[in-house]
C-alpha cells in the first residue's frame, strides 16, 4: 500500500491509492519504494533468473513475443531481445499526451512492479521511481495502444527513457534527449535483463491512470452541476419542493438523494424562491431539466462510483504477462490474460455517456433563461437592450456545439476490436481510446457547466431587488470578484466564459458554496 512519508509517496506491495495517483500525476509528488517492495522484487527476480538459466522455454524470458512466441532465444541474445522489444514497441504517433497522464501511468506501472509479480530487478524499479521524483517525463503519443497486452506503445516510450533513449521533458518542461536529462539528474540508464522489457510495458496503466483522474474530476464536476442547477431553478422561479427528502426516498438511488439534498441546501434562504411560494403562484410543475436534475445528476454520481469501484480493483491488481507466482511453493512464471483492458474500457465509455448527458441537461437549463417565452419575465437572451444587444445568445451556441461533440464522444470505443499480431491478439479492448475521448468529454462538461453558471449568475442579478440564497449568491460574488461584470451592454464574452471555466475546473465554485452551507454531498 502506498503511503506518504515526508511529502513523498512510498510505494509498497499493496495498491497505490487514488489520492496518491493524483498527488503524483498532478502535484508532482516524489516517489520512493518501500523496503517490503524491494524485498518482493528481489524474490521474484530470483525466480526469473533461475528460469532463464534452465532448459525450459519460458514466454518473455527465453522466447519471442506475441505471434513470435514460438521462437526460442539463445542466452546470448536475450538482453538484445528486451532492448529490441522496447525499441520496436515505442511506436506511438500523434500529439504528445498530457504530463499528468504520463506520470500517472509511470506510477501505476511502478506499483505493479512493486508487487513482486513481474520479475524486474529492484534497480530497474528504483530508476522508474527516480524519474518521477526528478520530474523527468517521457514523451508519450496519442495513438498506439489497443488496450490489450497492456498500453504497449505508451509504456514502451517510458521504458525507452529508462534505457537512456528517446525524448523526455525535464522538470522545467523542456524537450530533451533522455540520456541528457538522466545524466543531469545523476541517474544511470538501465541495461535491461531477461523479462524486464516485457514487464515494463505489459499493463493497463495508461487507461487506468486516466480513469482515476477522470473520477476525481467528475466527482467535483457533479457537485458543481448541482450548484449550477440550483442557480437555474432559482433564476427561473422554479420550486424547491420537488427536492424534498421524502419524495426522493420513493426512488432510493443514493446519488439521487445526495444531489437532491445538495439542491435543498443550496436554495435555502433564497428570497427569490420564497417570492413565488404563496397561493398566487400558478406554476404547477417545472420543466424536466429543472425538476429532474437530481435524477440525472444522481444517476451520473452512481455511475462514477461504480467506475471508482472498478478502478479500486484495478489498482489492487498485478497486471503483467507472464506473471511471477511465488505463493505456496517453488516460484514459477505463468502466462495469463489479465492485461486485457475490458474492465477499464467499459467504465471509461460509461463515464463518457455520463458526461454527455449531464452536459445535455445543463445546456437545456441554460437555454430556458434565454427564451422570453420560458424565462418568466427576464429580458430576451438576458440582453441589456434586446435587439441592439444579443446578451448570452451565442454562449448557448457554444454549449450546444460542445454538447453535440460530447454525444459523439459517448459512442463507445470498447465495442470495437481490430485483430493484431498476426491474429495472436485477436480481440482487444480499445481502452486507451476510451480514456482519451473521456478526457475530452470531461473538458467539454466543464465548459458547458461553466456557461450555465455564468448565465444563471446574470439572471440572478436581473431578479433584483429579490436576493438569491446565501450559497448561490456566493457564486455570483465569486464571478464578480474574478472580473466578470454583471448585466449591462454587450462586451467580449469569450474571456468571461474562460474565467468561469477556470473557476469550475479549479473547484472554486464548489468551495464558494461550501463556505456557506458546509461540504456538499
What CATH number should be reported for the domain holding residue 353?
A: 1.20.200.10
The answer to whether residue 325 is domain-embedded is: no
Question: d(Cα 319, Cα 307) in Å, to the nearest integer?
Answer: 18
Q: What is the pLDDT along the chain (521 residues), one digit of tens a residue?
A: 555 545 899 999 999 999 999 999 999 999 999 999 999 999 999 988 888 777 777 777 777 776 677 777 777 787 888 899 999 999 999 999 999 999 999 999 999 999 999 999 999 999 999 999 999 999 999 999 998 888 999 999 999 999 999 999 999 999 999 999 999 999 999 999 989 999 999 999 999 999 999 999 999 999 999 999 999 999 999 999 999 999 999 999 999 999 999 999 999 999 999 998 866 666 668 999 999 999 999 999 999 999 999 999 999 999 988 888 877 677 788 888 889 999 999 999 999 999 999 999 999 999 999 999 999 999 999 999 999 999 999 999 999 999 999 999 999 999 998 888 888 888 889 999 999 999 999 999 999 999 999 999 999 999 999 999 999 999 999 999 999 999 999 999 999 999 999 999 999 999 999 999 999 99
Domain boundary (171, 203, 235) is at 203
Strands 8-11, 31-33: pairing is parallel
Co-location of 386 and 505 in the same domain? yes
Co-location of 382 and 472 in the same domain? yes
Query: What is the pLDDT, as a whole number, of residue 67?
Result: 65
Which residue intervals of 134-204 are DSSP H helices? 152-162, 178-184, 196-201
The answer to whether residue 487 is domain-embedded is: yes
Co-location of 79 and 17 in the same domain? yes
The three cell numbers of residue 383 are 440582453
Domain boundary (178, 203, 228) is at 203
Q: Could you tell me the residue range of the domain that residue 142 belongs to?
A: 3-203
Question: d(Cα 172, Cα 92) in Å, to the nearest integer?
Answer: 23
Closest CA to 501 of 395, 393, 426, 425: 395
Query: What is the pLDDT, as a whole number, of residue 61?
Result: 77
The answer to whether residue 334 is domain-embedded is: no
Co-location of 215 and 185 in the same domain? no
Q: Which residues contact 436 (CB under 8 A, 6 or more apart)?
A: 97, 142, 210
Co-location of 123 and 221 in the same domain? no
Q: Are 121 and 79 in contact (CB under 8 A)?
A: no
Co-location of 312 and 451 in the same domain? yes
Phi-psi region of 283 (alpha: psi -120 to 50; beta: other; left: phi over 0): beta
Query: What is the pLDDT, as a whole number, of residue 419?
Result: 87
The answer to whether residue 331 is domain-embedded is: no
Question: d(Cα 509, Cα 278) in Å, to the nearest integer?
Answer: 31
The residues carrying an active-site annotation are 59
- Our count of domains for the chain comes to 2
Q: Are 45 and 122 in contact (CB under 8 A)?
A: yes
Co-location of 511 and 455 in the same domain? yes
DSSP 363: H
Domain boundary (181, 203, 225) is at 203
Q: Are 259 and 302 in contact (CB under 8 A)?
A: no
Co-location of 467 and 367 in the same domain? yes
Co-location of 171 and 279 in the same domain? no
What CATH number should be reported for the domain holding residue 9?
A: 1.10.275.10
Query: What is the pLDDT, as a whole number, of residue 186?
Result: 98
Residue 219 CA from chain centroid, whole number: 10
DSSP 420: B
Question: d(Cα 233, Cα 498) in Å, to the nearest integer?
Answer: 24
Co-location of 258 and 384 in the same domain? yes
Co-location of 306 and 419 in the same domain? yes
Co-location of 53 and 80 in the same domain? yes
The answer to whether residue 81 is domain-embedded is: yes
The three cell numbers of residue 122 are 529492484
Q: How distant, in Å, are the alpha carbons of 72, 433, 461, 517 from that of 510? A: 59, 30, 20, 10
Question: d(Cα 163, Cα 150) in Å, to the nearest integer?
Answer: 20
The answer to whether residue 329 is domain-embedded is: no
The answer to whether residue 328 is domain-embedded is: no
The answer to whether residue 327 is domain-embedded is: no
Query: What is the pLDDT, as a whole number, of residue 2?
Result: 55
Tell me if residue 378 falls in helix, strand or coil: coil
Amino acid at each position: 500500500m502506498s503511503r506518504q512519508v515526508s511529502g513523498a509517496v512510498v510505494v509498497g506491495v499493496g495498491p497505490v491509492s487514488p489520492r496518491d495517483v493524483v498527488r503524483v500525476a498532478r502535484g508532482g509528488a516524489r516517489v520512493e519504494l518501500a523496503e517490503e517492495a524491494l524485498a518482493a522484487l528481489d524474490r521474484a527476480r530470483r525466480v526469473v533468473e533461475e528460469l532463464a538459466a534452465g532448459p525450459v522455454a519460458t514466454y518473455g524470458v527465453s522466447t519471442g513475443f506475441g505471434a513470435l512466441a514460438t521462437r526460442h532465444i539463445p542466452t546470448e541474445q536475450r538482453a538484445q531481445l528486451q532492448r529490441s522489444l522496447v525499441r520496436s514497441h515505442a511506436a506511438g504517433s500523434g500529439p504528445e499526451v498530457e504530463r499528468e497522464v504520463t506520470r500517472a501511468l509511470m506510477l501505476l506501472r511502478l506499483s505493479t512492479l512493486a508487487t513482486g509479480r513481474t520479475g524486474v530487478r529492484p534497480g530497474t524499479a528504483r530508476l522508474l521511481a527516480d524519474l518521477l521524483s526528478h520530474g523527468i517525463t517521457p514523451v508519450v503519443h496519442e495513438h498506439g495502444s489497443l488496450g490489450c497486452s497492456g498500453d504497449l506503445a505508451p509504456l514502451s516510450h517510458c521504458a525507452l527513457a529508462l534505457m537512456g533513449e528517446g525524448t523526455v521533458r525535464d522538470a522545467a518542461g523542456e524537450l530533451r534527449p533522455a540520456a541528457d536529462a538522466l545524466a543531469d539528474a545523476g541517474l544511470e540508464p538501465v541495461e535491461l535483463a531477461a523479462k524486464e522489457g516485457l514487464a515494463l510495458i505489459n499493463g493497463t496503466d495508461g487507461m487506468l491512470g486516466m480513469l482515476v483522474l477522470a473520477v476525481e474530476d467528475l466527482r467535483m464536476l457533479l457537485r458543481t452541476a448541482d450548484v449550477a442547477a440550483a442557480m437555474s431553478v432559482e433564476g427561473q422561479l422554479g420550486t424547491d419542493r420537488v427536492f424534498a427528502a421524502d419524495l426522493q426516498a420513493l426512488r432510493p438511488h443514493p446519488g439521487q438523494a445526495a444531489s437532491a439534498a445538495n439542491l435543498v441546501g443550496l436554495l435555502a434562504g433564497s428570497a427569490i424562491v420564497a417570492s413565488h411560494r404563496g397561493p398566487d403562484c400558478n406554476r404547477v410543475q417545472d420543466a424536466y431539466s429543472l425538476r429532474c436534475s437530481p435524477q440525472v445528476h444522481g444517476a451520473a454520481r452512481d455511475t462514477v462510483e461504480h467506475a471508482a469501484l472498478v478502478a479500486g480493483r484495478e489498482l489492487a491488481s498485478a497486471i503483467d504477462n507472464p506473471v511471477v507466482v511465488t505463493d505456496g511453493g517453488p516460484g514459477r512464471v505463468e502466462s495469463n490474460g489479465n492485461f486485457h483492458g475490458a474492465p477499464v474500457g467499459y467504465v471509461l465509455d460509461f463515464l463518457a455517456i455520463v458526461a454527455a448527458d449531464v452536459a445535455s441537461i445543463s445546456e437545456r437549463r441554460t437555454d430556458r433563461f434565454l427564451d422570453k417565452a420560458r424565462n418568466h419575465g427576464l429580458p430576451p437572451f438576458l440582453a441589456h437592450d434586446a435587439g441592439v444587444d444579443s446578451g448570452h445568445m451565442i454562449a448557448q451556441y457554444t454549449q450546444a456545439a460542445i454538447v453535440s461533440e460530447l454525444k459523439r464522444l459517448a459512442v463507445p470505443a470498447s465495442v470495437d476490436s481490430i485483430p493484431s499480431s498476426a491474429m495472436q491478439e485477436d480481440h482487444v479492448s480499445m481502452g486507451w481510446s476510451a480514456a482519451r475521448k473521456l478526457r475530452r468529454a470531461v473538458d467539454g462538461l466543464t465548459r458547458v457547466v461553466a456557461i450555465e453558471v455564468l448565465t444563471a449568475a446574470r439572471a440572478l442579478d436581473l431578479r433584483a431587488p429579490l436576493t438569491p440564497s446565501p450559497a448561490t449568491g456566493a457564486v455570483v460574488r465569486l464571478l464578480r470578484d474574478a472580473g466578470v461584470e454583471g448585466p449591462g451592454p454587450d462586451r467580449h464574452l469569450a474571456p468571461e466564459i474562460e474565467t468561469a471555466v477556470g473557476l469550475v475546473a479549479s473547484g472554486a465554485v464548489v468551495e464558494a458554496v461550501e463556505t456557506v452551507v458546509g461540504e456538499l454531498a
